[in-house]
Amino acid sequence: MNGEKMTGAEIVLKALQDQGVEVIFGYPGGAVLPIYDEIFRQENRIKHVLVRHEQGAAHAAEGYARSTGKPGVVLVTSGPGATNAVTGMTDALMDSIPMVVLTGQVPTKLIGSDAFQEADTVGITRSCTKHNYLVKDVNNLARVLHEAFYVATKGRPGPVLVDIPKDVQFALGTYTGPANVAHRSYKPRVKGDLERIKEAADLIGAAKKPLFYTGGGVINSGPVASQLLREFVRATGFPITSTLMGLGAYPADDPQWLGMLGMHGAWEANHAMHDCDVMICVGARFDDRVTGRLDAFAPNSKKIHIDIDPSSINKNVRVDIPIIGDVAHVLEDLIRVWKSRAARPDKPALAKWWEQIAAWRARNCFAYNNSKELIKPQHAIERLYALTKDRDVYITTEVGQHQMWAAQFYRFQAPNRWMTSGGLGTMGYGLPAALGVQIAHPDALVIDIAGEASVQMTMQEMSTAVQYDLPIKIFILNNEYMGMVRQWQELLHGGRYSHSYSESLPDFVKLAEAYGAVGIRATKPDELDDAIKEMISVKRPVLFDCRVDKTENCFPMIPSGEAHNNMILADLGAQTVSAAGKALV
């Protein structure tokens, strides 16, 4: 109720409730005790999930957010609580994930005195949040909290932090509801400029070798955007590729789908990108993993770029027709304009383009030599896909080769089913993200496709999974190496495997048991299917130790600093990489 007097802690809970928050991921400490006390008193209203490390809380909130489209909420204490959450906030910023982080702070009078567990949280997080606030007056608290949700979810989504000193949590203040909050300066544009949309429709109509290049922005825009994208792509008959972040927006089983593009993307997708004459970029940001060498990036193309964030436009690549707006809004207009216009792509030219694409496809770029003795990681994902595809399934990943194999071999048919750390590449993301997904979708099958190195960074969250009966499946492609690092050392540093061996690994099966979870191991290809089936049927958290070939590399690969038509394939063997390329990441 507006105008009601309550304590800061009560205001926090009330605001969360009014924002429709169902779950908070958090960890208590001195500076948030009043809020925890309030949670205790209202336990039946908002669910609190106690993680084992604040980084886990942030990634869990990301998983929750990405799989639902709703903002994830995190509550942590001052000082180390806040600094531990920094990685998760940076991750959410890079991948445009809506998140609200509440941190406790030392009492206002002690700020600046190096008080116990004091950190300059707004200072530290200024560059890893979309926006942040320090609330010194309890009467601003409700407004700031509602504003935080507004900023986190509107425009290009991102993490927003609200730092709340302990005395403010105790103080009595006035509550205001969400309806009374209008932002003074932040009003992102969602409708695209109609003139530009008409120009885009004309350019699309004149294309001979067109390509849709779509990204995470389609997912951010919501399920309607994916629907409209499918409609438009089918209406045009054009090929479509996507970034890592956009997987699932367009179904992988559709004949117009070319697979992911970029550093570990499909041969056909990258070649089509290089040769296209009209590129229709929808909610993607021309990341360096995608563009490769900039001066050789799609050199003969005209580019249309739909993006809600003007700073994404012309940042890395100059485009011809920028359209600032939300994907769903712009596509809706674009489809309408397209339908009303006469210009249609030249059919014979398009047929020739598809012929060329068929030739690239025939190269069968993801082929690998399967084995009867060793489980090939690619084979493991193929089997995992075959055995889970008919279920209500969500996939998260850690970072490394396994992540890329997951992107290449798991076929996503729907949006919001794929959670991965793309921009920051945070090892340790997948396990806690799976927790967040499972909380949001209790009956779904949630699988973290993991690497044995990554998963050890946030392994302690298995304890959270057990506590809350979250039956997440951690499917570890255990190659006993930081495989992605090893691959680069093999290709770029003469095979000198400096500190990339996963020494002294725990016995993952015993580790699972120690946590009160279930451990499963597969070491031979002929055990794999049964083991995966067992994993699926177990209704408890599982650590699956899938022992795979230790030397397998992930191909295709565009070495850093190379052009799209200069890819390395598995059967071409190692190529040399230029000195300039070596210096890149």
Interior angle at CA 563, CA 267 and CA 265, nearest 5: 30
Which residue type does 211 have? L
- The region of 106-114, 125-133, 419-427, 535-543 touching other proteins under the rule CB under 8 A is 125-133
Residues 133 and 65: their CA atoms lie apart, in Å, by 21
Nearer to ligand FAD, 9 or 328 (CB): 328
Active site residue 105: no
Shortest Cβ 486–ligand TPP spacing (Å): 7
Q: Does 309 bind other proteins (CB under 8 A)?
A: yes
For residue 153, give the nearest of 19, 50, 256, 57 by alpha carbon.
Answer: 19
Which listed residue (168, 207, 304, 453) binds ligand TPP by CB under 6 A? 453
Residue 417 contacts other proteins per CB under 8 A: no
The only residue of 20, 45, 180, 186 in contact with other proteins, by rule CB under 8 A: 186
Instruction: Please give the Cα distance from 324 to 475 (Å, whole number).
Output: 40
Is 116 marked active-site?
A: yes
User: Closer to ligand TPP at the Cβ: 284 or 457?
Assistant: 457
Choices 122-130, 194-202, 467-475, 542-550 (CB under 8 A): range interacting with other proteins: 122-130
> Binding ligand TPP by CB under 6 A: which of 93, 128, 207, 399?
399
The residue from 17, 109, 116, 352 that is catalytic is 116
Annotate 168-180 with b (16+ C-beta within 10 A) or e (fewer): bbebebbbbbbee
Shortest Cβ distance from residue 482 to Mg ion (Å)?
6
Q: Does 215 bind ligand FAD (CB under 6 A)?
A: yes
Q: What is the distance in angstroms between the CA of the first residue and the CA of the last residue of the chain?
A: 53
Q: What's the rounded Cα separation, in Å, for the pair 476 and 131?
A: 36
Q: Are 531 and 538 in contact (CB under 8 A)?
A: no
User: How far apart are alpha carbons 261 and 251 in whole angstroms?
Assistant: 15
**Is there binding between residue 293 and other proteins (CB under 8 A)?**
no
| 268 part of the active site | no
- Given 14, 166, 302, 303, which residue is catalytic? 166
Residue with tokens 């004149």: 206
Contact between 123 and other proteins by CB under 8 A: the answer reads yes
C-beta contacts of 331-334 below 8 A and 24+ residues apart: 331/225, 331/228, 331/229, 331/232, 331/282, 331/306, 332/228, 333/191, 333/192, 333/194, 333/197, 334/192, 334/197, 334/200, 334/201, 334/232
- CA-nearest of 279, 264, 305 to 491 is 264
- According to the binding rule CB under 8 A, does residue 320 interact with other proteins? no
Between 90 and 458, name the residue whose CB sits nearer to Mg ion: 458
Active-site residue 582, yes or no? no
Active-site residue set: 54, 116-117, 166, 484
Residues that bind ligand TPP (CB under 6 A): 398-402, 425-427, 451-454, 477, 479, 481-485
Task: Give the residues lining the site for ligand FAD (CB under 6 A).
Answer: 95-96, 156, 215-217, 220-221, 243-246, 260-265, 283-285, 287, 289-290, 307-309, 312, 326-327, 399, 403-404, 422-423, 425, 484
